[in-house]
Amino acid sequence: MTDPLDAPPSPVPPLVIVDGANVVGSRPDGWWKDRKGAAERLRDRLAGEGLPGHPGPVEIVLVVEGAARGVASVPGVRVESAPGSGDDHVVELAAADPGRPRLVVTADRELRRRVTELGARVAGPRTVLG
């Protein structure tokens, strides 16, 4: 697997933005019964494993929405509750620092289009779920 963050070295670690609802929803494991719990499990996995296949430090932001709002941040993963659309919040985060390497983890085609127009790279849920 190639590293989705291959880029020239930067003094700031790459920003990895995870579309929580899309990644959690990519596996039919009963997540719909407890959306907040599913988001917490994803957060904990990200905190424990970082970005698999990427040896360097990264800043991970997990964007949650709807019933998953209110999930707390933990060391290694900042959790942001989208005030409205999770996709719109992901786009805002990707647009905030155009000079920084950014990777958005989602399978949502429209969201992928929007963030690649901003210069971010994209990867699917398997990037963080294995």
pTM for the predicted model, two decimal places: 0.90
DSSP 8-state code for residue 45: H
Output the tens digit of pLDDT for each of the chain's 130 residues: 445 555 555 578 999 999 999 999 998 888 889 999 999 999 999 999 988 888 779 999 999 999 999 999 999 999 999 999 999 999 999 999 888 999 999 999 999 999 999 999 999 999 998 7
Q: Tokens 């930067």 belong to which residue? A: 10
What does the block give as tokens for 8?
A: 């020239």
Q: What is the pLDDT of residue 29?
A: 87
Q: What is the pLDDT of residue 5?
A: 56
What stretches of the chain show up as alpha helix (H) in DSSP?
20-24, 35-49, 86-95, 109-116, 126-129
Helix axis angle, 109-116 relative to 86-95, nearest 10°? 20
DSSP 8-state code for residue 119: T
| Sign of the alpha-carbon dihedral angle for 112, 115, 117, 119 | negative
